Structure 1
Amino acid sequence: MTATVAIGEFARLTHLSVKTLRYYHEIELLEPVAVIAETGYRRYSVDQVEQAHLIRRLRGLDMPLPSIRAVLAAPDPAARDATLRDHLAAMEAELARTRDVVTSLRALLTVPVPMLRVEYRIEPSCTALTRTDRVAREAIGAWCDLAFGQLFEVVAAAGVTQGGIAGATYSTEFFTDDAGEVTAYLPLPAGTPLDPPPHLELTEMPARRYAVAVHTGAFDDFDRTYGALGSHVAEHAAALPDEPIRERYLVGPQHTDNPAEYRTEVCWPITEGEIR
């Protein structure tokens, strides 16, 4: 017969506090094998020690409780290991994001804002294959991967030559509300015969005058380029109200796997007025 112990002894065996064990009982994550009706005292089987140790380690990895349930309920080791691998992959991604943020913060504190070379030009109108959606700022990376993947795939399948540099336009709401309309576009030569699938369309991109600066590298400190360029426009030109900002991806993920090599033009829409 397997031995049972009181909750205090089980806490010593597992390094889980009595408060934690009571909570796990309440949420049915780790239930005692018996509860004495007269006293409400909980008793645990020593066979549950290994399960408690597993829970403790998974919580130490910040695994959400539903995922821990999935691990405990796994029908076999392969299913359990798959859940654990998914969580470890998510942790590694979060660790990489944290490293990027720390690097960016150190640069913000120690590296002065680079002097931007700002040029003024009119981007001519063009026909482009586009995808437009309302996108949350936190989802923009995944959305761009999806949208540009579709644009390049459709153009390649049609045997069409790209007519210019791919880019995207970002509505004012994307910045003010953390979600707004974004259009990914791929310019095409004039008169290109193309029948786009339903989620894409051919769009006439209007001619616009811009103040333009180039951001070099990954997007962790992209806000600094935006801040410097927007400040320059405020001091020397007049921004065009409610006109989307345009980004042109001179060197992007479609060109290199190294984010340090990215080169992105940020195009700030301005009026036809005099440059100060």
Structure 2
Amino acid sequence: MDTGLTIGEFSRVTHLSVKTLRHYHEVGLLAPADVDRGTGYRYYSLDQVPTAQVILRLRDLHMPVADVKAVLAAEDVSTRNELISAHLARLEDRLEQARSAVESLRELLARPEHGSAIEYRTVREQPAIGIREVVDRQDAVSWWQGALGELHGFATARGLRRTGPMGGLFADDLLQDERGEALVFVPVEGDARPVGRVDALVVPGAELAVAVHRGPLRTIDLTYGDLGTYTARHEIGVDGPLREYYLRSPLDVAGDDDLVTEVGWPIFRSAG
């Protein structure tokens, strides 16, 4: 009687190693067509070759075993394609993250040794409208983008005159503990009665060391690093929220490379 292909023969046909085939049997991904009860030898049928080829390609795409099982168990083509498309979308996200990390590293290596130009500035308190919330660091960028858009819409709808660039204040906890208070604001004059998340407030004054960051937020840590190094070296840094002013915000530009952000680090500055 034809018992099918031995595990070694099936390995040669499918390019899946014997070790991998044994593992797939153990985890229930690809069971042999027959197992000899006396010897424990595994035998595979030729009908299983296409399934093995699908598994090989999905695993080459780093699809988890559980997801491969779901694809093989899908009752129709539409469900199977949805599962594969979802995994491909995750791969594309990871690829974009990798590209972004590579670009950031290249920009770091290409930076001039002297770093950012730093100046001192006295900032007066300003009446403003703002959105304040305690946020998780991983959600901070999406929250920030939404708050900017909401404040812009509110100011436009109310006819409020802006008296300066949009800005933000960020508590140390947001970086140190990955959760902390964030405030996005627009300096304005006029009636700014609170509605929903938007509140009327006064942005406090401060003494700041300021540097300009040009380009995407993914590299703004370099500008923060320059400011933090400078203030620590000169022993002038003080406690207080970090501050940003968006000279060219996402509302003003078509791409992240055109963003211009002033970063302010709170400092002690004598009257002289």
1:122 aligns to what SS in structure 2? strand
Deviation at 1:271, TM superposition (A): 2.2
Tell me if the contact between 1:11 and 1:17 (Cα under 8 Å) persists in the aligned partners.
Answer: yes
1:91 corresponds to which residue? 91
Q: Tell me, in whole angstroms, the C-alpha distance in 2 between the residues paired with 1:40 and 1:201.
A: 73
Q: Tell me, in whole angstroms, the C-alpha distance in 1 between the residues paired with 2:69 and 2:157.
A: 45
Stretch deviating more after TM superposition (208-217 or 167-176): 167-176
Matching of residues 53-202 of structure 1 within 5 Å: 53-113=53-113, 115-125=115-125, 126-136=127-137, 138-153=138-153, 155=155, 164-177=164-177, 179-187=178-186, 189-190=188-189, 192-197=191-196, 201-202=199-200
Tell me if the contact between 2:129 and 2:198 (Cα under 8 Å) persists in the aligned partners.
Answer: no
Decide whether aligned partners of structure 1 residues 73 and 268 sit closer, same or farther in structure 2, where only a CA change above 3 A counts. Answer: same
Tell me if the contact between 2:129 and 2:151 (Cα under 8 Å) persists in the aligned partners.
Answer: no
Identity percentage of aligned residues: 37
Tell me if the contact between 2:192 and 2:200 (Cα under 8 Å) persists in the aligned partners.
Answer: no
Tell me if the contact between 1:104 and 1:221 (Cα under 8 Å) persists in the aligned partners.
Answer: yes
Q: Tell me, in whole angstroms, the C-alpha distance in 2 between the residues paired with 1:63 and 1:158.
A: 51
Deviation at 1:264, TM superposition (A): 0.9
* Aligned equivalent of 1:245, options 242, 247, 250: 242
1:39 corresponds to which residue? 39
Deviation at 1:113, TM superposition (A): 3.6
Q: Tell me, in whole angstroms, the C-alpha distance in 2 between the residues paired with 1:28 and 1:95.
A: 30
1:219 corresponds to which residue? 217
TM-score, with length taken from structure 1: 0.82
Deviation at 1:182, TM superposition (A): 3.9
Q: Tell me, in whole angstroms, the C-alpha distance in 2 between the residues paired with 1:69 and 1:156.
A: 53
Give the letter aligned to residue 249 of structure 2: G
Deviation at 1:17, TM superposition (A): 1.3
Decide whether aligned partners of structure 1 residues 232 and 155 sit closer, same or farther in structure 2, where only a CA change above 3 A counts. Answer: same
Stretch deviating more after TM superposition (221-230 or 148-157): 148-157
Give the letter aligned to residue 26 of structure 2: E
Deviation at 1:123, TM superposition (A): 2.8
Q: Name stretches of at least 5 consecutive residues in structure 1 with no aligned partner.
A: none
1:222 aligns to what SS in structure 2? helix
Decide whether aligned partners of structure 1 residues 35 and 139 sit closer, same or farther in structure 2, where only a CA change above 3 A counts. Answer: farther
CA RMSD of aligned residues (A): 2.9
Give the letter aligned to residue 192 of structure 1: D
Output one character per residue of 1:220-250: Cα deviation in whole Å (capped at 9) or x when no partner: 3322211212222234461112x11112222
Q: Tell me, in whole angstroms, the C-alpha distance in 1 between the residues paired with 2:56 and 2:86.
A: 18
Q: Name stretches of at least 5 consecutive residues in structure 2 with no aligned partner.
A: none
